[in-house]
Amino acid sequence: MKRIFACILAAGMFLAAGNFASAQDGRESWSYRRDYRADVEFAWMNPGQFVLSTSHGYSFGNGLYVGGGIGLGFDTVYADKTSVIIPVFAEVKYSFLDKFDSPFVSVRLGEYADCTNYGLGFYFNPAVGVDLGRFNLKLGYELQKPFAAASGAKTPRGWEDRPYSSHVKVSVGFAF
């Protein structure tokens, strides 16, 4: 009987230590902390298009995050020219569960500057994803629409009109 009691006690201690260790190594929900939060994200769109962005804001402790950010994107579709795009945006994100792995929805809304070709424009990026502790995986849609009604750019094939640009966007992020 003493052996059974000792085994149960030892098993309970291991389980308690495991739960404590998982809480210490970030296994708890990161989105349900009430504090300042910053995110760094790398996104890939079409072949040759990628963006590195950062977002800073406040997490309200109930899954809601509100912040703003800036990014730096490169479009290397043409072999002889790389477009540089800088989005500046406000972001709202809501995580549904107070768990280590929680689904979320997010929306980024703002302006972008195409430093190479098209000037300024409207930026819109709704997305869905999953938080995995401090990391997140996201699938979204990105729309860029120039402010000028007849915006065109000199490309290797001559002047081209660009009414808007839209992409499916896959990204990986890290919160700190």
Residue ranges of domains in the chain: 1-29, 31-175
Which one is predicted more confidently, 28 or 135? 135
* Percent of the chain clearing pLDDT 70 (strictly above): 71
Q: Is the predicted pLDDT of residue 126 greater than 90, yes or no?
A: yes
CA–CA dist 49, 41 (Å, integer): 14
Q: Are 73 and 54 in contact (CB under 8 A)?
A: no
* Percent of the chain clearing pLDDT 90 (strictly above): 48
pLDDT at 15: 41
Tell me the per-residue pLDDT of 136-146, one tens digit each, with 9 for 90 and over. 999 999 988 88
What CATH number does the domain located at 31-175 have?
Answer: 2.40.160.20
Q: How far is CA 160 from the centre of its chain?
A: 31
pLDDT at 154: 54
Q: For residue 134, give Cα distances in angstroms to 21, 27, 109, 146, 153.
A: 16, 9, 23, 34, 40
Q: Are 43 and 51 in contact (CB under 8 A)?
A: yes
